[in-house]
Every structure is written in C-alpha cells, then in structure tokens.
Amino acid sequence: MRVLGIDPGSETTGWGVIEGDARRYRLVEFGTVRARARERFAARLLKISVGVESLIEKFRPDVCAVEEAFFAVNAKTALKLGQVRGVVLLAAERARVEIAEYAPRLVKQTVVGYGAAEKQQVQEMVRVLLRLRAAPAPFDASDALAVAITHLHHTGLARPVKTAPARASLEALLAANPRRRAPRIASNATTPPTRDPRALTFVGPNTRQG
C-alpha cells in the first residue's frame, strides 16, 4: 500500500509518501508545498490544491491520509486551516483517492506513544521508524510522514490477528477444567460474589529507508 500523508498549513503544507504495511514500510519521498505569506489567501489555496493534485499524479497513492484540524485559540487561524484542509480533501476526492483523517493527538500517540509529544519527538521517531540517517525536515514534512505511518498502523490493526499464545493456553486450560457447580447454601447466608476466572481482560503489546 502506498500512502500520501498530508499536514495542512496555510503557508507550508507538508507531505510524505511511504509504502508497505503495518509491519514493514519504507520512505518514498517527502517535501512541502509552500505559499508566500504576502500572497492573497485565495491564491495560496490554489497553489496548495495544484500542488496536492501534482503529488497524486506523480506518486499514485492508494490512500491520502490527512491530519485533522487541531484546536486553535485563534478562530481566524482555525478557519484558514479548515479551508486548507478543504482544498486538500477536494483534490484527493477529485482524483478518486481514498481519504483517511487522523487527529493530531492520535498521530502522536501512534508514532511516539504519547499524545502530547513535541514536534521534535515526532520527527525523531519518524527517522527511527523509517530508518533514515537524518531526521526529515522541516516539521511540516515529518508530521506528514507521521500521519502516513499512523494510517498503515491502524489499517494493520484492523486485520485479524492470531490469538496470543498465553491466552490460547489459558483458554485450553479452562476448557479442560470446567467450573464445578457451587454447593447450595442456606438462603439466609450471604457470601461475597465470586469472580469468574474466565472474565479476564488481556491487553496485547503493540515498525525503514529501503
């Protein structure tokens, strides 16, 4: 699977392309689509739209993974970011590319393991996961690659997985030794509720430049 990750920005929109699956993937290319701050905002939107369309035409991704808008104190900033996301989504939809959207906190949680991680931490983990000699820069590009990695991870988790060996052993043990019926007790007696040993919750553990 080839994924185009996008980190929308009103002046600099980061992008990164990786391919593979949840267990193994490699970097294809990354970069940014830049617009001048002095340009009219409508002109910037056009440049971003054309840039994303060119990327889709060049790399032919299976999925376009886009970072969702973060909470911004400045309403004007949030509105502009939403408009940038709009042209990115439109470009992908026009090209008939599947679209996936991920919250910034989920991206950080997936890549770093901490939902409030700093950009430098995300950048370094992207370098490690993609087995790069140098961290991808600028942050807009490393964030876009993180979004793409997040998509591969969550797509992989959606697939059926084998039962963990420890759980399989426990289930076999319980099947071979079914619970015996508890003896009857007087109706006026009270006993604390017993916990069903089968009612256990298991939490399983949870990824190159080629």
Query: Catalytic site residue 196?
Result: no
Query: Catalytic site residue 140?
Result: yes
Active-site residue, from 29, 53, 57, 67 = 67
Active-site residue, from 53, 98, 118, 140 = 140
Contacts of 203-207 spanning 24+ positions with Cβ under 8 A: 204/161, 204/164, 207/22, 207/23, 207/24, 207/25, 207/129, 207/149, 207/153
Contact assessment for residue 64 and residue 87, using Cβ atoms and an 8 Å cutoff: no
**How far is it, in rounded angstroms, from Cα 14 to Cα 29?**
11
Structure-token match 């919250």, residue found: 103
Contact assessment for residue 154 and residue 110, using Cβ atoms and an 8 Å cutoff: yes
Please give the torsion angle defined by the CA atoms of residues 12, 106, 64 and 92, in that order, rounded to the nearest 10 degrees.
-70
**How far is it, in rounded angstroms, from Cα 56 to Cα 48?**
12
- Catalytic residues, by residue number, are 7, 67, 140
